[in-house]
Amino acid sequence: MSNSTDIFNIVAASKTFYNYSTYISFSIGLIGSILNILVFTNTKVFYQNRCAFYLVAESIFNIAQLTQNFANTVWTLFLNGTDPQTVSLTWCKLRTCLPQWYRLTLTAIICFAAIDQFLSTHHRPYLRQLSSLTIARYQVYFAIGLCLLHTIPAAVFIRISPLFGCIVSNNGLINYYSFVFYPIMSGLFPICVSSLFSILAYRNVRHIVRRQIPINRRRLDQQLTAMIF
């Protein structure tokens, strides 16, 4: 009896900790993302700046991701601890597909921002010409659409299992998520790409000092590169 009571207390404490951590992360993340959007959209120095556009897009998707996690936690409390994914098939699909969409789009935006910062700080003019706000917008819109299409198979094959809750019923899709999506597309590949181009951009920024570029431009490039890195 004592062991079962201890287990119950541990589970209850972990749920309470999870709920409070969700509230705290939602509040801090929401405030930070809103401040990013306000700063980058209302500060004159960031007008027509590609990296600022990427950071605004990233903040918007961060807000969406935080909001969904918060909504799931609140709904769980209203259901007296029952996970809404085990009750509603629609929410089960949304709870699985939307985070996947957010995650892929965010990683794409981060990679685009790192590549753009590398191009915009390069000493070769023809490479700097590849960095423009128009191209940045098309890249983000393309990533949003492509990543949304990527979630369609998951939405089709997701079902609610009495034992395991919200699961993917297709074995091929399970293997894809296990060996391709999570370890490579959401893990190794974006980390390598963003890290590589961030390091190259940082090297370019250090070389900017040797070129005849206004000090305000140098400081702005250094700050944006530090934020992306």
How confident is the model over 123-144, as pLDDT tens digits? Answer: 888 888 888 889 999 999 999 9
Residue 23, domain extent: 2-228
Contact 204, 118 (CB under 8 A): yes
In angstroms, the CA 204 to CA 116 distance is: 12
Alpha-carbon torsion angle 188, 169, 103, 114, nearest 10:
40
In angstroms, the CA 28 to CA 42 distance is: 21
The pTM (predicted TM-score) of the whole model is 0.82
Contact 104, 147 (CB under 8 A): yes
Convert the pLDDT of each residue in 180-212 to its tens digit: 998 998 889 999 998 999 888 888 877 765 555
Give the count of domains, the chain.
1
The CATH code of the domain that includes 65 is 1.20.1070.10
Longest dimension (CA), the chain: 77
Convert the pLDDT of each residue in 43-78 to its tens digit: 887 777 888 899 899 999 999 999 988 888 888 777
Given phi > 0 = left and psi -120 to 50 = alpha, else beta, which region is 205?
alpha
Question: Which pLDDT belongs to residue 81?
Answer: 66
